[in-house]
Chain A
């Protein structure tokens, strides 16, 4: 339509969800899907109860347990830790009382909230999606506006199906060209965070674009959008395209038949208009990205695997120099040390960043016909029951177990150190998760973030390794 200002993907979804604009410009924004889990909801349901309020749209709400639970067989006999048990039981009581649909621990579809939303077909393009969890940005991979909220806002959405929000600024990150051999979506997003920094996206919603993003499958797009929060952004998104629509067609609860065709007509109008204005634009050349690994305790402290621990004394800025010294001490490193010389104790393949079937295939391709190094504990934790089932149908579990990996039950596991899967002080871990903060995987634990293939290579080598040195072996 001529005369209209070109809009971004974010602008279009935002405009379609404004219920009302308050005099100061704050919007009352309608929420299409509210995902909930056991950790950030008990106080919200309690607030509803105290105020005598109900859940406005239980049908647009979905609850699952993921953070607190064990990822071994012990989950079948009940939760050992009394506090974790109480939190899960509280969720179960709340979903019954308020009529919220719930996927219990032993359900075949149970899994990490950000894995199951897309795979079940509940997360769709053009939607507003929230969850009391910062990695809600994952769902932006479908072309949705998806962001994390605090517990007070969880209560607000439960009661009103809306949120009070100020519009965000638009940022576009263009990744152009072809990814080099051995590189994946994880390397793209780590490289982006390395470029713009952990506060680079503050106040923005990032749209990832360019042919390297278009070439990613949905799992890869989810990996990229997932870590938007690690760049400080409110949300990350990728415009929907044929890859997206094919993915949705295969989901169990996505729209079917005429409903799908009707939805598709709207989804096709969502991509940013030519000439749409972005407040900030960043460009990366895909072929320049090498396999990435973090060395410090912030996701922005990332280097190509061929790099070495930097020397703080070479850093001119005093505050940054002090921070680097602190990180190097915490991580037990020496300036100048080659990253590939760092021995690992634990390898964790999982989390809402990298636990989908494509991630497990990538790890298995490296593990096939090889052995986990002596003394290394390597675990693979599928993101959901459905991922686990598919991996087993493909025989990936067998490949991984034969190589010496643990094959576990779905959950958040060792990403965040709140369930039995934790590092002990001083342990060094190659992890496909999203945060390398001090103590994130357990007090004193040392985390290096990398891709699933790089993690598998580290497990085999017993140290951080360059996956490009590991040609996949054919099946025996």
Chain B
């Protein structure tokens, strides 16, 4: 996983609440067996018209947002299906940070596993950042995970909270399976205990 330290880039405004993972990537595009290549179908039902041509009204089809690295949206972002193809599609498109008032749990979790930083900020702050984002290419937003601040184009710094363990893993790009396997002895001991006390759980 690519570490996430500081990102300065173009932010795309998506002023919608309840953006679900079926919108982020519709199920008919989940058939790949690889982690890459989902970017072209990110928000497919909004980005493309029925004949397959681009919908010029959708923000990610407009300059400079084709090069957006940050997405700003409203409440309950990433609700619905657990599909990790949603963060994969965002990442493949080039988005490494989503800022919203709150996120659905599974999507929030999935972001951290893929080097994407979900930042929770109050609705009114998201509205201000969305105004910044509407200024286009000259209005870069910085997201600094080390210092836990979002920096607006005018230099104003907005602090945000993030779980310390997740921050550590993200800053260092760590694979948490490797971390967990360091606890193999504790897992062995748990299994031995369970075999003795709950024998019915063994394969039947």
Are B187 and A149 touching (Cβ within 8 A)? Answer: no
- A392 within 8 Å of B (CB atoms): no
Are B18 and A198 touching (Cβ within 8 A)? Answer: yes
| Binary flags per residue of B31-45, CB closer than 8 Å to A gives 1, else 0 | 111110000000001
Are A417 and B28 touching (Cβ within 8 A)? Answer: yes
Bound-state CA distance A263–B16 (Å) is: 48
Q: Which of B25-74 contact A (CB under 8 A)?
A: 26-28, 30-35, 45, 50, 74
**How far, in Å, is B88 (CB) from chain A's closest CB?**
8
| B184 contact set on A, CB distance < 8 A | 160
Are B33 and A20 touching (Cβ within 8 A)? Answer: no
Q: Which residue of chain A is the closest to B201 with respect to CB atoms?
A: A32
Count residues on chain B whose CB falls below 8 Å from chain A CBs: 56
Q: Which of A150-158, A177-185, A213-221, A376-384 lines the interface with chain B?
A: A150-158
Q: Which residue of chain B is the closest to A412 with respect to CB atoms?
A: B27
Q: Which of B70-98 contact A (CB under 8 A)?
A: 74-76, 79-84, 87
Are B165 and A26 touching (Cβ within 8 A)? Answer: yes
- A271 within 8 Å of B (CB atoms): no
Q: Which of B100-108, B131-139, B144-152 lines the interface with chain A?
A: B100-108
Are A435 and B22 touching (Cβ within 8 A)? Answer: yes
Q: Which of A403-436 contact B (CB under 8 A)?
A: 416-418, 422, 425, 435
From A22, A160, A253, B204 is in contact (CB under 8 Å) with A253
Are B50 and A438 touching (Cβ within 8 A)? Answer: no
Are B110 and A162 touching (Cβ within 8 A)? Answer: no
- B14 within 8 Å of A (CB atoms): no
Bound-state CA distance A347–B67 (Å) is: 42
**How far, in Å, is B29 (CB) from chain A's closest CB?**
8
Are B102 and A202 touching (Cβ within 8 A)? Answer: yes
From A30, A53, A298, B190 is in contact (CB under 8 Å) with A30
Are A162 and B23 touching (Cβ within 8 A)? Answer: no
Are A418 and B76 touching (Cβ within 8 A)? Answer: no
Bound-state CA distance A232–B198 (Å) is: 32
Bound-state CA distance A7–B105 (Å) is: 24
- A60 within 8 Å of B (CB atoms): yes
Bound-state CA distance A30–B184 (Å) is: 12
**How far, in Å, is A218 (CB) from chain B's closest CB?**
19
Bound-state CA distance A441–B16 (Å) is: 21
Are A152 and B84 touching (Cβ within 8 A)? Answer: yes
- B113 within 8 Å of A (CB atoms): yes
| A164 contact set on B, CB distance < 8 A | 165, 176, 180
- A90 within 8 Å of B (CB atoms): yes
**How far, in Å, is A299 (CB) from chain B's closest CB?**
9
Count residues on chain A whose CB falls below 8 Å from chain B CBs: 78
| A43 contact set on B, CB distance < 8 A | 33-35, 84
Are B106 and A83 touching (Cβ within 8 A)? Answer: no
| Binary flags per residue of B184-204, CB closer than 8 Å to A gives 1, else 0 | 101100110010001111111
Q: Which residue of chain A is the closest to B197 with respect to CB atoms?
A: A266
| B22 contact set on A, CB distance < 8 A | 416, 435, 437-440
| A39 contact set on B, CB distance < 8 A | 30-31, 83
From A153, A259, A418, B113 is in contact (CB under 8 Å) with A153
Are A152 and B114 touching (Cβ within 8 A)? Answer: yes
Are B31 and A202 touching (Cβ within 8 A)? Answer: no
From B16, B33, B82, B190, A149 is in contact (CB under 8 Å) with B82
| A127 contact set on B, CB distance < 8 A | 201
Are B27 and A417 touching (Cβ within 8 A)? Answer: yes
Q: Which residue of chain A is the closest to B204 with respect to CB atoms?
A: A253
Are B32 and A83 touching (Cβ within 8 A)? Answer: yes
Bound-state CA distance A46–B32 (Å) is: 12
| B74 contact set on A, CB distance < 8 A | 319
Bound-state CA distance A8–B84 (Å) is: 31
Are A263 and B200 touching (Cβ within 8 A)? Answer: yes
A28-B186, A60-B203, A84-B31 known; A150-B76 Cβ under 8 A = no
Q: Which residue of chain A is the closest to B26 with respect to CB atoms?
A: A439
A150-B106, A152-B113, A439-B23 known; A19-B186 Cβ under 8 A = yes
- B5 within 8 Å of A (CB atoms): no
Are B82 and A133 touching (Cβ within 8 A)? Answer: yes
| A81 contact set on B, CB distance < 8 A | 31
| A51 contact set on B, CB distance < 8 A | 177
Are A198 and B76 touching (Cβ within 8 A)? Answer: yes
Instruction: Show the binding face of A for B, using Cβ within 8 Å.
Output: 19-20, 22, 24, 26, 28, 30, 32, 39-40, 42-43, 46, 51, 53, 56, 59-60, 67-68, 81, 83-84, 86-87, 90, 101, 121-122, 124, 127, 132-134, 148-153, 155-156, 159-162, 164, 166, 198-199, 202-203, 229, 232, 234, 253-255, 259-260, 262-263, 266, 298, 319, 323, 416-418, 422, 425, 435, 437-440, 443-444
Q: Which 8 A-B pairs have the closest CB atoms?
A: A152-B113, A42-B33, A418-B27, A150-B84, A83-B31, A59-B203, A150-B110, A255-B200
